[in-house]
């Protein structure tokens, strides 16, 4: 292709993450592992870092919402005629 240089190639322009510098796979793997560990730690801080009073309140609200939904059901689950007559 006359007039086209390597940096003009469309595949290099579309992928800015491509560099001519080699990648050290060991460092990449370790960095990825650290990032995953940090995400897990953040999730654990959220799940286990709440005070007992706050978590109890959240559980009580969730139970109340579940009871409200169950109270508004049209049919009872324990009805003898549930449509499975065979």
Give domain limits for the chain. Answer: 23-70
Convert the pLDDT of each residue in 34-76 to its tens digit: 999 999 999 998 888 888 899 899 999 999 999 999 998 887 6
Closest CA to 47 of 63, 33, 39: 39
Tell me if 18 sits within 8 A of 12, measured CB to CB.
yes
Dihedral over Cα of 18, 23, 29, 33: its sign = negative
pTM score: 0.37
């Amino acid at each position: 292709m006359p007039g086209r240089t390597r940096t003009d190639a469309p595949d290099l322009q579309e992928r800015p993450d491509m560099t001519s510098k080699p990648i050290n796979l060991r460092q990449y793997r370790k960095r990825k592992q650290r990032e995953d560990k940090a995400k897990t730690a953040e999730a654990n801080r959220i799940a286990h870092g709440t005070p007992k009073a706050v978590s109890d309140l959240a559980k009580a609200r969730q139970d109340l919402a579940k009871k409200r939904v169950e109270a508004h059901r049209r049919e009872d689950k324990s009805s003898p005629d549930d449509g499975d007559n065979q």
